[in-house]
């Protein structure tokens, strides 16, 4: 069996990376979710995948050009369904409050900030500060495609578990050297790269393997039978029978 992560919340039935998508996890007995975090111009950490707001809001602005004050005027829900009109881009602080209240666990993906080292350090510190407010019984896993940034997070907050994200192109034959040098707890590979042989190699090396993004039940079954420990899916509520 595997841990089932609701990818960007229950993004198959609610707008991704919103509180509605996270709250939907509670309604469907999904205890783990994944979300993306980056920072606004004023340093506020928020849940957002893209640098541009155009795909998932009614704004065409860049994330780095707005402040927390601007969030009240941005609709992050109606693009998905009219019933979500008025949904806001959540702050990480709001998410932490929800996790504490509802007993949820999270994979926090720190986005690869595009503004340089100073802002990347600011992002890492902002995430660490909010994670300090989590109730001790809550679980969190921090991941990133930016392995330099992930290493810096681990250096600044060694008590938190971490995971290295890999696209198919990123996962090269030196993957074991990379994850060992990062001292991560888990590997998060893209679904397309996974084979039974690679699964066994990663498990034999002692790593949890959480694969993204798996929306096919037949593929989920195959991966679980190979021994992967987790699946990211847009439809976590339909994968409960795979859940450990």
Q: pLDDT by residue (tens digit) across 198-222?
A: 999 999 999 999 999 999 999 999 9
Q: Identify whether the C-beta of residue 17 lies closer than 8 Å to the C-beta of residue 49.
A: yes
Structure tokens at 225: 């039978």
State yes or no: pLDDT of 233 exceeds 80: yes
What pLDDT shows up at residue 38? 98
Q: Which residues pair with 231 in a beta bridge?
A: 4, 211
State yes or no: pLDDT of 46 exceeds 90: yes
Sign of CA dihedral 48, 53, 59, 63: positive
What pLDDT shows up at residue 44? 98
What pLDDT shows up at residue 32? 98
Structure tokens at 217: 């039940």
Kindly report, residue by residue over 120-133, the tens digit of the pLDDT. 999 999 999 999 99
State yes or no: pLDDT of 117 exceeds 80: yes
The mean pLDDT value for 54-82 works out to 98
């Amino acid at each position: 069996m595997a841990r089932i992560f609701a990818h960007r919340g229950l993004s198959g039935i609610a707008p991704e990376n919103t509180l509605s998508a996270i709250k939907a996890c509670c309604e469907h007995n999904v205890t783990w979710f994944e979300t993306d975090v980056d920072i606004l111009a004023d340093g506020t950490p928020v849940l957002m995948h893209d640098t541009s707001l155009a795909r998932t809001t009614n704004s065409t602005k860049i994330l780095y050009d707005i402040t927390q004050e601007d969030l009240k005027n941005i609709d992050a829900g109606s693009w998905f369904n009219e019933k979500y009109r008025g949904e806001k881009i959540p702050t990480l602080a709001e998410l932490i409050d929800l996790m504490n209240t509802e007993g949820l666990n999270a994979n926090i993906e720190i986005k690869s900030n595009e503004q340089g080292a100073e802002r990347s350090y600011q992002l890492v510190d902002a995430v660490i500060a909010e994670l300090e407010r989590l109730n001790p019984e809550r679980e969190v896993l921090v991941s990133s495609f930016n392995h330099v940034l992930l290493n810096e997070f681990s250096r600044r907050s060694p008590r938190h578990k971490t995971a290295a994200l890999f696209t198919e192109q990123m996962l090269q034959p030196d993957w074991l050297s990379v994850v060992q040098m990062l001292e991560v707890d888990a590997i998060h590979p893209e679904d397309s790269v996974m084979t039974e042989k690679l699964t066994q190699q990663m498990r034999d090396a002692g790593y949890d393997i959480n694969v993204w993004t798996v929306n096919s039940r037949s593929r989920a079954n195959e991966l679980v039978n190979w021994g992967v420990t987790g699946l990211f899916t847009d439809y976590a509520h339909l994968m409960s029978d795979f859940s450990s």
